Structure 1
Amino acid sequence: MTAQLSPLLVPILLMGVFIFLGIILSMEKCSFLIAGYNLMSREKKERYDERALCRFAGKLMFFLAFCMLLSIISTILESPVLLSIAVFLFVAAITFAVIYASTGNRFRK
């Protein structure tokens, strides 16, 4: 049984971390975990809507956890197609998030 669980251990742990981060960020806590925002000066941080930024990052973490769940299911079912879908969604979500957050001044006050 442990031989079957070992390839799933890392994705399950990562999924748990993503869910934990999603919960914390959705509660609008730990904004210092958001890359780029944590390096801004206090004056620059005051120009951003920290609440909206945290909620967006939390939703992203939940979606990435879902992608991890798909990869776990693909390992269990031995389905390379499902794994390809999971990887595509993971990369697409990160690409979307970077473009969405960087354009349009969406998180400015």
Structure 2
Amino acid sequence: MTARLGLLLACCLGLAACAGPGGHGADDLQPPFRDKALTMQSAQGMLIAGTSTKADVAAALGPAAVVRFDSGYEVWAYREKPPRSTAPGAEFVILFTPSGVVQKTRIRPRYALRAQ
């Protein structure tokens, strides 16, 4: 059962990384959270696995890109939007159980583009 949950989490996080709109425009300067001063690390510190709910997260962080699965699990992704860069920004990803409680969080750092 634990292996299945791990596989589900890996799939969820992989799909969340691929979801969302592309392109660059005026909205690229917007931070990922409602509170523009909030960092991904401080946002992660605000959430308690097994206790924080979707309502808690939405109230604290604002809207996210959401991926819903037939199993009832949901992944919410908050993505940094670097201005006019082709390198993906950092992202904060939250996995919710079918009952709507935070199960796990992770931060993926920004990757630098390699010169070719």
Q: Shorter-chain TM-score: what band?
A: under 0.3
Q: Which has the larger radius of gyration?
A: 1
Larger helix proportion, structure 1 or 2? Answer: 1
Instruction: Give the TM-score normalised by the residue count of structure 1.
Output: 0.27
